[in-house]
Amino acid sequence: MIKDKIKIVYPNLFDNELLNEFEELGLLKRFHQNDIIIDIDENINGIPILLSGAIKIMREDFDHGELLLYFLERGNTCSLTIDCCLENKQSKIRAVAETDGELVMLPSVKMDEWLAKYKSWRKFILNSYNNRLDEMLETIDNIAFNTMSDRLKKYLLDIASINKSKFINKTHQEIAYELNTSRVVISRLLKALEINGFLILNRNEIRIAEF
């Protein structure tokens, strides 16, 4: 069952022998929106591969606020989690379900063995690192060079894309928390974006006009 689900997401990538190991050792896990999948300072015992849904990866700052780093979507894994597995370190991120979904958790104790044994696993891990590095660089550029208004627009478009809907059901406070700013700032910027025609503010709902 597990290997069939992974083959749908990744056709022709993994060796049959490796897929059989996934089937034997993997654990299917369903999650719901806002579930904490991995928490900060948690010991990492498994490597998640996302089969459906979306997960947001958050980083805690020195003042115990949080910043959204990137989203994981179908077929992704978290390279920061892989790094913790390889180095036997505690998690430095919080993974929170953005939507309902399903993942398979693979045992971290098999990481070194699979890296040495399976070319397809090495390719998967390296591609995952490269993809997450690109996303991290994009996040850094976004914070360093873009205004908060630009960051907010990108965030809203990302959420709309993930949910495949122009309607966003998040409070101003939730958005502020994920962008590590204040609710007052977000409310002011949302109003400005509405005036510019980018979105429409409804009660407890934001509609992206340009999506």
Could you give the count of Cα atoms lying within 13 Å of 8 in the half-sphere of its Cβ? 8
Q: What span, in angstroms and rounded, lies between the C-alpha atoms of 134 and 141?
A: 10
pLDDT in tens, 26-46: 999 999 999 999 998 888 888
Residue 136 has pLDDT above 80, yes or no: no
Give all domains of the chain, ordered by start, each with its CATH number: 2-144 (2.60.120.10), 147-208 (1.10.10.10)
pTM: 0.82
Can you point out the beta strands (E) in 98-186?
Answer: 101-107, 167-168
| DSSP three-state, residue 49 | strand
- What is the chain's mean pLDDT, rounded? 88
The residue whose two tokens read 């949302």 is 190
Q: Report long-range pairs for 32-38 (Cβ below 8 Å, ≥24 apart).
A: 32/97, 32/100, 33/97, 33/98, 33/99, 33/100, 34/96, 34/97, 35/96, 35/97, 36/94, 36/95, 36/96, 36/97, 37/95, 37/96, 37/97, 37/103, 38/78, 38/81, 38/91, 38/93, 38/94, 38/95
In this prediction, residue 119 carries a pLDDT of 94
pLDDT in tens, 150-209: 999 999 999 999 989 999 999 999 999 899 889 999 999 999 999 999 999 988 789 998
